[in-house]
Structure 1
């Protein structure tokens, strides 16, 4: 499947080329360890390491072409060197070219925002399959090429994996692909060369400040996704978020809005709320859904609006939405034989946690206790730790602070960081149990019939990462074991 330089660098601005311009390359890599004879290596500057430091390794492994932002002091006469302004952006473009520009042959819709990306992308995938289409999905939980599952390692794959998966979808006959677009992927130019049919904005709240440093930088990166959409693309944004309209400010294509509270192109109102679902009025029609919470009303409305913008029939969409089930690890409920309800949710940001706890509060009859089991991830944005604990203590009757994925950090220190957010009035509500299984077990011991236990932060994840090692751990499995189900 080799490609020559002219094919690969179509639409790419080259600053200089040293060596043979007619080289044919076998594969593209940005990890020098994967390079074999006849391959092309792209030296990308990352947050941890700089690919330029590994050019010699790539050449020694047989690279025929090196793409870089500056030439090394020594260069091999058998290797061609192509100098570009931004290696990461070029990687995205040549990956797209290498895999025969897959997004010219599939309608790709990207979902970005802090919360709701996985739910919206997955529900669109499930809805369009119900409508009879072959569909692809790129998400945090799992990637799908029509029915074939492909394990996900990142919210958005790297540029090479991404284009390879999209090419596989085209080959399989998929007409649509719905994908989560993370802020990291936008910032690292992983999606820069892709042709998006549309983009969806969910909301933006406190997250990933370990990477972006400031909220303004995080906001700017999200907006950049919409700025890059083409003239023929559409964008649909949540105007109930104060930054929703900002996303459309410089967008060149067709602009649409959705809201549960104000005037918008697509509107929805919650008529009834129950633990088993909601009755919605969506675009003038009443439908019963299997989802709970105002945030899910927004998610379903984004799904509806997007499907309409993709020219699907209104009645068919509404029928399909009424049949959809919740996404793995998103407000999933498990009821014990003694009448205690556990809710497992991926909420790992302050806003997502607040949404879930407020949803539970709105459904309480008044006598139930809400017991929240929550942690915070290690090696990530530390500023959200006290906020997570503060929200939990304010909106719960009891809180158990525990481990999430401590990664390389001391889990006890993470819990101490969280405790900083608990006010003096709420300290009596809060326990700290580092072992997550014991924390869930203790919550069950404290609970009585009709009480609600929220286990937040991990959702669909089936592992716990401690000191760089992933151990099997699934909140739902643990709950079912403790509930003896």
Structure 2
């Protein structure tokens, strides 16, 4: 667990405010820059910086102030905005590295607590774009991506132009006769992008006519203030589980970070999932902090409905379809089929229904939207090939997410009279405390499996695998292999498994890369699985 990050998280927790000191000054600066540089863009990322743009310089782990000044100066921004704490260093750098130092100094602004205030600068510069789009923010350990994308599809089905922003990037959704047209606009390095990039992209969405946006609000994004200056009207929480404890330091801090979303000043509604006693206890603690004007309610996927406003009762499950009954306060129940399986995915669908209900959609519209429900790329994605085992690719990278999908796939493997296998790893330079737990979870549900690589970054891969392996019961360790090459691991399992078996390839999902040290190398679980299918078929033909 990182002591530096933990101390940083504790410090931010004590000082967090949706309206930090100097936010009015930051807002005024944004308006001034808009007046004087209306044709420019504003960014805090050098890859989005063009000549004549405004650059907010915030040093981080990857680049220090000097590095960013060098990179920015090459692109000739019209304005620099730097934290006041760096004033002396910046002036020295300008004097030592530029021919006309006075000119650059004159177009440099200094503002304290810049990272906290950058969202207010960007918001006013783009003339408050979050006030022109109805924004819903979804937080939770697992399910954010599924809910954000599925909600955007459901609302687009109601003839609204929608967008989702998060792990899969920025995507727009528009109804075209009976289908929903999806267009990828941007990719981001983070689940919740910086406040500056957020407002810049909101401005682009307005130009595209987008009326409603669904944002994934990560715990780190919330505590770091990436949503500051953004008007959020509707909120939802999927669940709370083990993730990012290397950053937050404790589960209590993680919960606090998630709960910040529900203290945002403009929210009108809050949706909570009633999945178990723990989730209910967490939501009850959050509800106590809610503004009296906020309407809140529960949704669920239970066989015995208790107190939730909307419940999706599971009736039957086939290979990839779940038949449910939509239940609400009315006496009329409606049956429908969702093209997904797994109780947690039905809970995600219930959250979508909750967001639609909060927005005032009619029951018929909600049910019609749910019929369009689908999991996005890399979430419960099945790959099938004749004569081969059924392979499921999923982004599950937390103990809870892994257990949820393995519970579902174990039931599926039993229906197929087959066995369940699993291939997974854990990310390097990230929360080490979850590795042993994930090893324990995997061996609880699977017959056999392989521990492999998943973005080891700068950490020795052997140490990561050993941490996971330590969670496996000694009696069954012989059933679990260590294969560091992820593609080879997939090929090995696919070649050995029988055609009625089920194989989970977990951890990467939609990602098309592996990170070794600081290098991103192209890699795809989808391509490796299809290649393994081809190899198996060729071997069977011999």
In the alignment, is the contact (CA less than 8 A) between 1:279 and 1:288 conserved in 2? yes
In the alignment, is the contact (CA less than 8 A) between 1:379 and 1:406 conserved in 2? yes
In the alignment, is the contact (CA less than 8 A) between 2:43 and 2:197 conserved in 1? no
Aligned to 2:15: none
Partners in 2 of 1:35 and 1:453 — Cα distance? 44
Partners in 2 of 1:337 and 1:277 — Cα distance? 20
Partners in 1 of 2:377 and 2:71 — Cα distance? 42
In the superposition, relative to structure 1, how do residues 109 and 152 fare at CA in structure 2: closer, same or farther (>3 Å)?
A: same
Structure 1 residue 257, shift from structure 2 partner: 1.6
Higher RCO, Cα 8 Å, sep 6+ = 2
Partners in 1 of 2:527 and 2:53 — Cα distance? 44
User: Are residue 277 (structure 1) and residue 288 (structure 2) matched?
Assistant: no
In the alignment, is the contact (CA less than 8 A) between 1:71 and 1:83 conserved in 2? no
- Long gaps (5+) in structure 1: 1-8
Aligned with 2:42 (options 28, 38, 60)? 28
Aligned with 1:215 (options 223, 246, 251)? 251
In the alignment, is the contact (CA less than 8 A) between 1:236 and 1:256 conserved in 2? yes
After superposition, residues 74-473 of structure 1 pair within 5 angstroms as 78-79=106-107, 81-84=109-112, 86-146=113-173, 147-153=182-188, 154-230=190-266, 233-240=268-275, 241=279, 242-252=281-291, 253-261=294-302, 262-283=306-327, 284-363=333-412, 364-365=414-415, 367-473=417-523
Partners in 2 of 1:141 and 1:31 — Cα distance? 19
Aligned to 1:5: none
User: Are residue 12 (structure 1) and residue 23 (structure 2) matched?
Assistant: yes
Structure 1 residue 72, shift from structure 2 partner: 2.6
In the superposition, relative to structure 1, how do residues 151 and 448 fare at CA in structure 2: closer, same or farther (>3 Å)?
A: same
Structure 1 residue 285, shift from structure 2 partner: 1.9
In the superposition, relative to structure 1, how do residues 80 and 243 fare at CA in structure 2: closer, same or farther (>3 Å)?
A: same
Partners in 2 of 1:431 and 1:468 — Cα distance? 27
In the superposition, relative to structure 1, how do residues 62 and 96 fare at CA in structure 2: closer, same or farther (>3 Å)?
A: closer
Deviates more, 1:472-481 or 1:453-462: 472-481
In the alignment, is the contact (CA less than 8 A) between 1:394 and 1:426 conserved in 2? no
In the alignment, is the contact (CA less than 8 A) between 1:374 and 1:402 conserved in 2? yes
In the superposition, relative to structure 1, how do residues 435 and 59 fare at CA in structure 2: closer, same or farther (>3 Å)?
A: closer
Q: SS of the residue aligned with 2:462?
A: helix
Partners in 2 of 1:257 and 1:395 — Cα distance? 30
Structure 1 residue 185, shift from structure 2 partner: 1.5
Partners in 2 of 1:172 and 1:32 — Cα distance? 24
Deviates more, 1:188-197 or 1:112-121: 188-197
Q: SS of the residue aligned with 2:371?
A: helix
Deviates more, 1:256-265 or 1:173-182: 256-265
Partners in 1 of 2:223 and 2:358 — Cα distance? 27
In the alignment, is the contact (CA less than 8 A) between 2:87 and 2:110 conserved in 1? no
The TM-score normalised by the length of structure 2 is: 0.80
User: Are residue 475 (structure 1) and residue 525 (structure 2) matched?
Assistant: yes
In the alignment, is the contact (CA less than 8 A) between 2:388 and 2:533 conserved in 1? no
In the superposition, relative to structure 1, how do residues 472 and 44 fare at CA in structure 2: closer, same or farther (>3 Å)?
A: closer
Aligned residues: 472
RMSD: 2.9
In the superposition, relative to structure 1, how do residues 352 and 10 fare at CA in structure 2: closer, same or farther (>3 Å)?
A: closer
Q: SS of the residue aligned with 1:257?
A: strand
Partners in 1 of 2:185 and 2:46 — Cα distance? 24
Partners in 1 of 2:287 and 2:375 — Cα distance? 29
Partners in 1 of 2:458 and 2:405 — Cα distance? 28
In the superposition, relative to structure 1, how do residues 196 and 432 fare at CA in structure 2: closer, same or farther (>3 Å)?
A: same
Partners in 1 of 2:451 and 2:72 — Cα distance? 46
Partners in 1 of 2:480 and 2:81 — Cα distance? 56
In the alignment, is the contact (CA less than 8 A) between 2:495 and 2:532 conserved in 1? no
- Long gaps (5+) in structure 2: 1-19, 92-101, 174-181, 328-332, 538-542
In the alignment, is the contact (CA less than 8 A) between 2:423 and 2:452 conserved in 1? yes
Structure 1 residue 70, shift from structure 2 partner: 3.5
Aligned to 2:11: none
The TM-score normalised by the length of structure 1 is: 0.89
Structure 1 residue 236, shift from structure 2 partner: 0.8
Structure 1 residue 64, shift from structure 2 partner: 4.6
